[in-house]
Amino acid sequence: MRYVSTRGEAPARDFPGVLLAGLAEDGGLFVPETWPSLAAAEWRAMRGLPYPELAARIVGLFTGGTIPEAALRRMTEEAYASFNHPAVAPLVQLDTRTFALELFHGPTLAFKDMAMQLLGRLFDHVLAERGERVTIVGATSGDTGSAAIEACRDRANIDIVILHPQGRTSEVQRRQMTTVLSSNVHNLAVEGDFDTCQDLVKAMFADAPFRREMNLSAVNSINWARVAAQIPYYAYAALALGAPERPVAVSVPTGNFGNVLAAWAARKMGLPIERLIISSNRNDILPRFFTANDMSARPVEPSLSPSMDIQVSSNFERLLFELLDRDPAATAQAMRSFRETGRMPVPDAAWQRAAELFRGVALDDAGTLEEMRRVHAATGWLPDPHSATATHAARALAPEDPAIPVIVAATAHPAKFPDAAEQAVGFRPALPPHLADLFTREERLELLPGDLAQVEAAVRRHARRNRA
Ligand SMILES: *Cc1c(COP(=O)(O)O)cnc(C)c1O
């Protein structure tokens, strides 16, 4: 299995190459040269498998023999052993046809753990094989930092340094990062805001000698392996609900388009997903695209669902590439004009094909609170604000045939958003047992000014690479 860049100017790579590179050298995203596809009997044979086993089989279709089967199986078993539910990703029925797929039973209570827990282990495995070490650096406004830290903690060949804006994350978010006391985890609280942190990370990557010396790397959402590791849970849910004989639909709260792209990939691999419903908050660029071919960026506005406060959905480029019949020059051109004008021109015929499959709808904050209240009153199950946009979208945009079940991706535990929950239903959901003592755990962090030289010095102090 080889991977090509959506922009066509970077050499093809194998799975480990794509894993370590993240972004292609030409600025494009890696996609499989050809999509693996399974026959109905092969899907059926996976029904009822424990999640780690299913995940190893599906991810194994994308590794192209570069990772031994037994090693991959060990990694998925370890990755999902830390999850707080025996099913890993259980389904909860909300009405006759709507099912919440709970993706938040991992260590940080959000769906990013589903991919990141495996990614950290894949990184470590490939690095050990190559006798290499990396220093992962990243900036976070809250959630992605903790998922990355949990994924990389205690991995032998990785050091991770996460910058967060001092005093500007919630206490839960900060403590989820700073109470991880593993020797390869380093939290820098930077004076400034999220953009200060982001700029410092960009500057470190742009500092070529420093980048080389530290062997800097990132685990951001454009990494193909993250998408690959998100495909299994759609198969798991669809099989449980009767696929491949019975078609299903999915409803996914969408920001960077990674999660729903994984559902699209599952469909491409032969799973009968009839419809892909996306939801957003008031930052509604994606619903506007799928309803009116209007992909135009507007300023980002804060909302109750911060992980969707996004105007540029980086993984969308992978779908665009497919919509444009895998024409890398046309993809590069569309991305260039989006960057230059804030508007992405997509030919009508290509958009039509997308619109046949995808539906999208946005929900503002008041609607989100109302939806949280409604679902909780009707079922006793409380969605977090992100998931609430998706339960709403599932109701609004479900296929006409009521025999088609809708799988709603429940992307975060409601306890991660206690203020929104309190506004919606009048109580703050309890943290699950494994985080119950979060507020009394010891924290470790280093406070630094927003100064590149000082931040680089801190990274250099922490990176074991330097001392090997
Ligand atoms: C990251 C995130 C999303 C958006 O997922 P994408 O893959 O970026 O579309 C939705 N909900 C929650 C809770 C998230 O953390």
Segment 158-177, tens digit of pLDDT: 999 999 999 988 888 899 99
Helix, strand or coil for residue 27? coil
Residue with CA closest to ligand 1 atom 1: 307
Residue 170 has which token pair?
A: 């919630």
Give pLDDT tens digits for 102-122: 999 999 999 999 999 999 999
468, pLDDT greater than 70 = no
Computed over every residue of the chain, the mean pLDDT equals 95
Low-confidence winner among 94-103, 216-225, 378-387, 449-458 (lowest mean pLDDT): 216-225
Q: How far is the CA of 401 from the centre of ligand 1 (A)?
A: 28
Low-confidence winner among 194-203, 342-351, 369-378, 440-449 (lowest mean pLDDT): 194-203
Give the model's confidence band at 466: pLDDT under 50 very low, under 70 low, under 90 confident, else very high: very low
Rounded average pLDDT over 406-434: 95
Which of the listed residues 234, 259, 285 should we mutate to test ligand 1's pocket, taking the one with most ligand atoms within 8 A of CB? 259
- Residue 462's alpha-carbon distances to 159, 185, 186, 228, 374, in angstroms, are 8, 9, 7, 31, 48
- Residue length, the chain? 468
Q: How far apart are CA 77 and CA 404, in angstroms?
A: 32
Q: How many CB atoms lie within 10 A of CB 425?
A: 17
Report the percent of the chain where pLDDT is more than 90. Answer: 88
- Which residues have a catalytic role annotated? 112
Low-confidence winner among 24-28, 270-274, 388-392 (lowest mean pLDDT): 24-28
Residue with CA closest to ligand 1 atom 14: 307
The reported pLDDT for the residue numbered 220 is 79
Q: What is the pTM of this model?
A: 0.95
Rounded average pLDDT over 41-46: 98
Give pLDDT tens digits for 341-390: 999 999 999 999 999 999 999 999 999 999 999 999 999 999 999 999 99
